Structure 1
């Protein structure tokens, strides 16, 4: 070292170029400047701070004071910085690519050196993590959300990336505020029609995959069920995967309970819609009527029509459960 963090060999060529310019009056040629760019690249690769390198280049030139020095120095220092910044851009691109590859491998369950690579990005995969995903990503939205979350929680606590067209946020299960903050920025910055799913906390690399799939499936289910909330928690939808595992049973339930509604004037659609709104309002027929744009009496009439046709009443607890399950199954199956 020469009194700074800059190794002497990185500036040896720089002094030679300057001395030659002073002695001959000629400005540095292409070959000399390429050598300076290469020195700047090596400085970046060795972790030498750019400011230290430039200051040392200027200090070393003070003893060569001459008329032609300033112009030559400007070119030489510019070449050093070009090489340095080029190396930084390459390193940044490589880091971004490594990050994308890691996220893809993590969420797809490809396990090659995951734990080792995860530590590089601040994740400790032995812990429990929650994955939240958002659909409807605007251009530039990923970068904005990531900057906000990293500024608040630190890069070691959150991982934000784009995967399969979804904006993904991976955060520790103990850091519930991170998921809430993610939802806040999605709500503030996404275009109308966005939807967000939140998986449950799971441990280890496989747990991250499970939570990601839960969050993605929550969005799909919410679309199929036409749910109103834009933020959907997988934990709130656990009954639906159970229903879908036995498709034959749910088809039988829908057919048995709801097929008589086909006999209704206007078909089953209006009666199904009425049942959905009543169930969504926890049985409050007045609130359901407001949502449907009907009178409370009209809703009462429709529910009585359902009871007469199907034999199931939404006012009787056991029958209400069967009827509501059948209505949800109908939505999942796209019935009728």
Structure 2
């Protein structure tokens, strides 16, 4: 029996029942079964309406009916058809949503096991095969973070990426509020395509994508995820607003943080004297950050900070007086820049009373 051959008989069964809850419950069950059989809504409507027409020809007209009676019966039939269709569509929608939820739950559980490596490898490999993932291959993990990311967005992005790059080359889900995409390591254009999709879904300026480096094997997936997530964490601390950030471009920051004692010593030694400045160190740190972001251009720095060039120059001279370092000196520029980046990463300084 084909997926559609049962529909005519099932639709007739609905109309054989008297109007009321039993008929509507039967229609809802028909809708759920249609969803399981991958029928489309128009097919369900056509089946029920065709059965309704047959029911009308069989039971709705009598030779002795007056025009008023016929009109009343037609009105009753139309009201009944509307109720039956609504019940069937509700059953269809509920079953579809339940199946999507089950699918999302299974996918999320698999991705969690994949990224944490907690599951038994043999069972994990068997589940990975269903999604077209070869655990021995190299993979890249992308993490998107921002407002508005939910399961519906995740489904649409997953379908779009699969259509663009092919089933088995990408696996996308929502995990702990982030959108996580596991992609084949050699896949080109995946970050740009994901950015394009998020722009359409969420608009501009509300999200960022961190891209880990490709790594082989099961442990490599977890490593790439950590790199992508850390890249977004660093971007938040450093105030980076670029939409797509690659871990490979930010390798200096894990290096800085790997020896926390050393970076703390660098920050406090180089920038510590700024805590004695009137108003505290924040205005001077912001000036240095803007200066380095603008490749040392005083005019662009002043424009970004809504200051005069003279005010920027004064602050830089004040930094030289307090710390002994000036960004205009080539031998001191790198040390100052590293110290400023370290201060951002450490969220230095902690709030304290202003100095004199």
Q: Normalised by the shorter chain, which TM-score bucket?
A: 0.7 to 0.9
1:169 aligns with one of 160, 181, 206: 181
Measured after TM superposition, the shift of residue 226 of structure 1 is: 1.6
Which stretches in structure 1 are left out of the alignment for 5+ residues?
Answer: 19-26, 55-66, 69-77
Secondary structure of 2:158 counterpart? helix
Aligned to 1:245: 258
Change (3 A) 1:91 1:309: closer
Aligned to 1:218: 231
Aligned equivalents of 1:161, 1:293: Cα separation in 2:
42
Aligned to 1:102: 110
Aligned to 1:143: 155
Matched, 1:181 2:193: yes
Aligned equivalents of 2:316, 2:95: Cα separation in 1:
71
1:76-127 per-residue CA deviation (whole Å, 9 max, x = no partner) reads xx9xx99xx7998876654443222111111222232222211111112222
Aligned equivalents of 2:38, 2:261: Cα separation in 1:
67
Matched, 1:301 2:314: yes
Change (3 A) 1:255 1:208: same
Aligned to 2:302: 289
1:21-66 per-residue CA deviation (whole Å, 9 max, x = no partner) reads xxxxxx5999xxx9xx89x97x999x9999xxx9xxxxxxxxxxxx
Measured after TM superposition, the shift of residue 151 of structure 1 is: 2.0
The answer (yes or no) to whether the contact 1:129–1:203 under 8 Å persists in 2 is: yes
| Number of residue pairs the alignment of both structures matches | 309
Aligned equivalents of 2:101, 2:311: Cα separation in 1:
63
Measured after TM superposition, the shift of residue 184 of structure 1 is: 1.3
Change (3 A) 1:293 1:119: same
| The 10-residue stretch of structure 1 (89-98 or 260-269) with the greater mean CA deviation from structure 2 | 89-98
Change (3 A) 1:311 1:101: same
Change (3 A) 1:207 1:137: farther
Aligned equivalents of 2:38, 2:337: Cα separation in 1:
67
Change (3 A) 1:91 1:224: closer
Aligned equivalents of 1:168, 1:130: Cα separation in 2:
11
Secondary structure of 2:179 counterpart? strand
Aligned to 2:135: 125
Aligned equivalents of 2:207, 2:301: Cα separation in 1:
25
1:121-154 per-residue CA deviation (whole Å, 9 max, x = no partner) reads 1112222111111112525322222222222122
**Could you tell me the TM-score, scaled by structure 2's length?**
0.70
Q: Map 1:48-87; keep pairs closer than 5 Å.
A: none
RMSD: 4.3
Measured after TM superposition, the shift of residue 173 of structure 1 is: 1.9
Secondary structure of 2:189 counterpart? helix
